Amino acid sequence: MQKRIFLWVGKAMVIACLLTLALPANIYGQQGTVSSKMAGKLVIMASGFKSGGGQFIVNVFATEAGYPLDSSQAVRTYNGDVTHETMEIQLEEIAFGTYAVTVLHDEDKDGKMTTGFLGMPKEAIGISNNPRSYFGAPAYEDALFKINQIEKTIAIALHSH
């Protein structure tokens, strides 16, 4: 009888030791990963609005589909009145991930970019990472940045041609 109790206590101690070692490893492993459910605030410092009128339209793209101006393909769209040459735009609850952002100064408030001869934009536009392009929109890959922290601030300079 004493042998059985001794064996049972011995097995229980071995299991307890293994659990003690395994649980912290599991907890630390989970802390080091970025969950798709994690989200942060995106702060956009947009500069270069030409006038105090019109509206801004922000599009956040998680894929190349619709980039740079098709709001229906954006994972987040936000607009508001232009009140200053430089504006701080805050977007809450953006899931951690990789994105490209466009900011349009829609001066005539028609909800789209106004273009002139040969499709050149008449309204100012800015793209994350401020890539330059002389013919057409900058490549999607050039505009990509990561949100992997509680608050991410980016600067976007608007330009018109």
Q: CB atoms < 10 A from the CB of 126, how many? A: 23
Average pLDDT, the chain: 84
- pLDDT mean over 92-100: 98
The residue among 133 and 111 whose pLDDT is bigger is: 111
Integer Cα distance of 3 and 120 in angstroms: 89
What is the reported pLDDT for 52? Answer: 74
**pLDDT for residue 18:** 46
Evaluated on CA atoms 96, 98, 104, 110, the torsion sign reads: negative
Contacts of 132 (CB under 8 A, 6+ apart): 138
Share of the chain above pLDDT 90, in %: 63
pLDDT level of residue 16 (50, 70, 90 thresholds):
low
Helices (H), 47-160: 140-143
> How far apart (Å, rounded) are the C-alpha atoms in residues 140 and 126?
13
Give the three-state DSSP class for 51: coil
The one-character DSSP state at 52 is S
Structure tokens at 125: 């536009």
pLDDT for 32-91, tens place per residue?
A: 334 457 999 999 999 999 877 899 999 999 999 999 999 999 999 999 999 999 999 999
Closest by CA to 89, choosing from 76, 99, 107, is 76
